[in-house]
Chain A
Amino acid sequence: MSYSPLTEQLIQSLRGLPGIGIRSAQKMALHLLERDRDVAARLASALQAALESVGHCEHCRMLTEQNLCPTCADTDRDDHMLCVVESPADVEAIERAGGFNGRYFILMGHLSPINGIGPEDLGLDQLRNRLNAGGISELIIATNPTVEGDATAHFISNDVRSCEGLTVSRIAHGIPSGGIIEQVDGQTLYRALQSRAKVL
Chain B
Amino acid sequence: MPLFQKLDVDFRGQGASHQMRSWVPSGPIHHLQEHRLYFGLYLNELITRLWPLQGNSVALFGLYSSTLTLISKQHQERAALRYFERTLLAELGFALEFKQSLDGRAIVPEGHYRHCVGTGFERSPVVPNAISGEHLIAIDRNEWHLAGALHHARGIFSREIDLHLEGQTLHTRTLLRQVMDRATGDLGAKT
Contacts and interface: CB of A to CB of B under 8 A. Distances in A.
Contacts of A185: 25
Interface stretch (B36-44, B102-110, B140-148): B36-44
Given A147-B32, A147-B37, A187-B2, 4 more contacts: A113-B170, A116-B169, A154-B34, A158-B179
Nearest to B35: A154
Interface in A117-138: 117-119
Contacts of B171: 113-114, 116-118
Interface size class of B (residues with CB under 8 A): 20 to 34
A151 B37 contact: yes
Nearest to B32: A147
A148 B175 CA distance: 12
A186 B48 contact: no
B172 A158 contact: no
Contacts of A111: 175
B113 interface: no
Interface of B: 2-5, 25, 28-29, 31-35, 37-38, 40-42, 44-45, 48, 169-172, 174-175, 178-179, 182-184
A113 B41 contact: yes
List of 3 A-B pairs having minimum Cβ-Cβ separation, nearest first: A113-B171, A147-B3, A113-B172
Contacts of B25: 185-186
12 contacts: A113-B175, A116-B171, A118-B174, A119-B178, A147-B4, A147-B32, A151-B38, A154-B35, A155-B175, A158-B182, A162-B184, A186-B29
A161 B184 contact: yes
A117 B171 CA distance: 8
Given A154-B35, A186-B25, A187-B2, A113 B45 contact: yes
Interface string A144-167: 001110110011001101100000
Contacts of B34: 154
Sort chain A's interface into a size bin.
Answer: 20 to 34
A147 B179 contact: no
A15 B32 CA distance: 34
Contacts of B33: 150
Nearest to A147: B3
Given A116-B169, A187-B2, A151 B31 contact: no
A18 to B, nearest CB: 15
A88 B48 CA distance: 30
A118 B45 CA distance: 13
B31 A190 contact: yes
A187 B31 CA distance: 9
A118 B183 CA distance: 17
